[in-house]
């Protein structure tokens, strides 16, 4: 249990576990941590409920044979976590001090929070392309996830925007359902690896629009996507040329399509960790220990969901790693308490001396040690 008398500077209570993010991973972690009587604090962030709130129908989450609305799934998850004592607050973490103990989190509104263990479940935001109407139609025929929404487009003609490996993966997956898949790429050559590009090029249902970009999406929330306006220019990157002298040579074309998939990458929400000792990979993802744990290179800090998983990015995998992070955090707190002689932790910061040379369980973090 959080000890409310255990304060930093005698002001703020120190939480046992703070969870940053209220998507599926954060909610799943919250349920597990709360059921362990650790009363987690969940910071909801700029997008309460996370990415799943952007989608209308989830058909591949266990336990909902008829499918379930993204919002509904999140609403139920939050209710479940609250039932066991999780506390949700609006708040976005802007910076973190993870050098001392307890950890310090600075929120955008100026508040500071203290926690012994930290679960980072901040997700990875899919990049959007900035086309007209994408805000309105995201989740209504526009998607950033072919694995999630591809099956809704059986027999449709669809567009995939992008030219890298993720766009090729999306296109190849969608070709199982759609009549035709047209990859729209702003240059005349792909950025994707040769093997992925080759597979897409050889596929008889996959077509390419070179030097082209998506300008506008047509449709409505009732009817879904009905078409798109593409622009193209012989030298590529046509939207950059609009409004300049070269704009005269930009061609516009309206195409009829039933779905549009963005495959232009994801940005992990880890900016607030940049000045901390937590390792991030080149893309900004939070690498966790190789093998089945969610531990990062900083003891007491755990990663869950899309922020640590550039590969699967599914609700069910995010929920899975959320529960893992909760169990890892709980075990770590227990080990720390044992080490401190029965008290969960001393609640005092020991800047510059985190005692981090060893894992709480005494094992060196092998995979991350070098
Ligand atoms: C349109 C769409 C449809 C999808 N459909 C499906 C589907 O049908 N099936 C499926 O399995 N998956 C689907 N997915 C993928 C699924 O939504 C993600 O895999 C899942 O949401 C990842 O959960 P997460 O908790 O890791 O991250 P997210 O859901 O991204 O949640 C991240 C959370 O972190 C918070 N946050 C971010 N930065 C901060 C900060 N600095 N401080 C505090 N909080 C912060 C955000 O506010 C948010 O609450 C879909 C995704 C999209 C975009």
Rg over alpha carbons for the chain, rounded to the nearest Å, is 23
**Strand runs (DSSP E) across the chain, as ranges?**
3-8, 12-20, 41-43, 87-89, 93-97, 103-107, 112-120, 124-126, 142-143, 157-161, 180-184, 206-209, 212-220, 224-232, 251-256, 259-262, 266-268, 301-303
Look up the pTM and report it.
0.82
Q: Is 165 helix (H, G, I), strand (E, B) or coil?
A: helix
Say whether 156 is catalytic.
no
Atom of ligand 1 nearest to the CA of 321: 26
Q: Which pLDDT tens digits describe the chain residue by residue (370 residues)?
A: 555 444 445 556 899 999 999 999 999 999 999 999 999 999 999 999 999 988 888 999 999 999 999 999 999 999 999 999 999 999 999 999 999 999 999 999 999 999 999 999 999 988 999 999 999 999 999 999 998 899 999 999 999 999 998 899 999 999 999 999 999 999 999 999 999 999 999 999 999 999 999 999 999 999 999 999 999 999 999 999 998 888 889 999 999 999 999 999 889 999 999 999 999 999 899 998 877 899 999 999 999 999 999 888 899 999 999 999 999 999 999 999 999 885 554 444 444 333 333 334 434 333 333 2
Q: What is the pLDDT of residue 2?
A: 53
Cβ 58 under 6 angstroms from ligand 1: yes
Q: What is the pLDDT of residue 343?
A: 52
Active-site entry in 149, 157, 165, 328: 149
The DSSP code for 291 is: T
Atom of ligand 1 nearest to the CA of 54: 1
Name the superfamily (CATH) of residues 3-125+266-369.
FAD/NAD(P)-binding domain (3.50.50.60)
Domain positions in the chain are 3-125+266-369, 134-262
Say whether 145 is catalytic.
yes
Tell me whether domains 3-125+266-369 and 134-262 share a fold. Answer: yes
Q: What is the pLDDT of residue 248?
A: 87
Location of structure tokens 């899919």: 126
Is 147 within 8 Å of 314 (Cβ atoms)?
A: yes
Say whether 148 is catalytic.
yes
Cβ 122 under 6 angstroms from ligand 1: yes
List Cα–Cα distances, 25 to 50, 290, 319, in angstroms: 9, 19, 5
**Mutation test of ligand 1: which of 50, 93, 174 has the most ligand atoms closer than 8 Å to its C-beta?**
50
Cβ 145 under 6 angstroms from ligand 1: yes
What is the distance between the alpha carbons of residues 226 and 297, in angstroms, rounded to a whole number?
48
The DSSP code for 128 is: P
| 134-262 classified as CATH 3.50.50.60 | yes
Q: What is the pLDDT of residue 22?
A: 98
């Amino acid at each position: 249990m959080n000890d409310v008398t255990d304060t930093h500077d005698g002001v703020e209570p120190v939480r046992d576990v703070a969870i940053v993010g209220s998507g599926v991973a954060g909610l799943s972690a919250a349920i597990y941590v709360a059921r362990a009587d650790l009363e987690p604090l969940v910071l909801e962030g700029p997008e309460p409920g996370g990415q799943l709130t952007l989608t209308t129908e989830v058909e591949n989450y266990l336990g909902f044979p008829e499918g379930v609305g993204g919002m509904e799934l999140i609403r139920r998850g939050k209710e479940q976590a609250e039932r066991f004592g999780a506390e949700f607050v609006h708040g976005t973490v802007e910076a973190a001090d993870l050098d001392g103990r307890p950890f310090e989190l600075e929120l955008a509104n100026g508040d500071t929070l203290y926690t012994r263990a930290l679960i980072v479940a901040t997700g990875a935001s899919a990049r959007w392309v900035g086309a007209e109407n994408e805000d309105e139609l995201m989740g209504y025929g526009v998607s950033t996830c072919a694995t999630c929404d591809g099956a809704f487009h059986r027999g449709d003609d669809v567009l995939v925007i992008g030219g890298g490996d993720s766009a090729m993966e999306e296109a190849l997956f969608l070709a199982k359902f759609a009549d035709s898949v047209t990859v729209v790429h702003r240059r005349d050559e792909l950025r994707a690896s040769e093997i992925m590009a080759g597979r897409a090029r050889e596929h008889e249902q996959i077509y390419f629009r070179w030097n082209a970009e998506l300008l506008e999406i047509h449709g409505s929330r009732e009817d879904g996507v009905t078409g798109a306006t593409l622009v193209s220019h012989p030298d590529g990157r046509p939207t950059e040329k609009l409004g300049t002298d070269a704009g005269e040579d930009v061609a516009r074309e309206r195409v009829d399509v039933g779905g549009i998939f963005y495959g232009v990458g994801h940005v992990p929400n880890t900016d607030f960790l940049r000045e901390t000792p937590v390792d991030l990979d080149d893309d900004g993802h939070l690498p966790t220990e190789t093998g089945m744990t969610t531990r990062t290179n900083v003891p007491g800090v755990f990663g869950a969901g899309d922020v640590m998983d550039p590969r699967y990015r599914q609700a069910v995998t995010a929920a899975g790693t959320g529960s893992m992070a909760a169990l890892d955090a709980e075990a770590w707190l227990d080990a720390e308490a044992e080490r401190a002689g029965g008290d969960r932790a001393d609640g005092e910061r020991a800047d510059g001396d985190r005692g981090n040379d060893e894992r709480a369980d005494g094992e060196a973090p092998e995979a991350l040690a070098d």
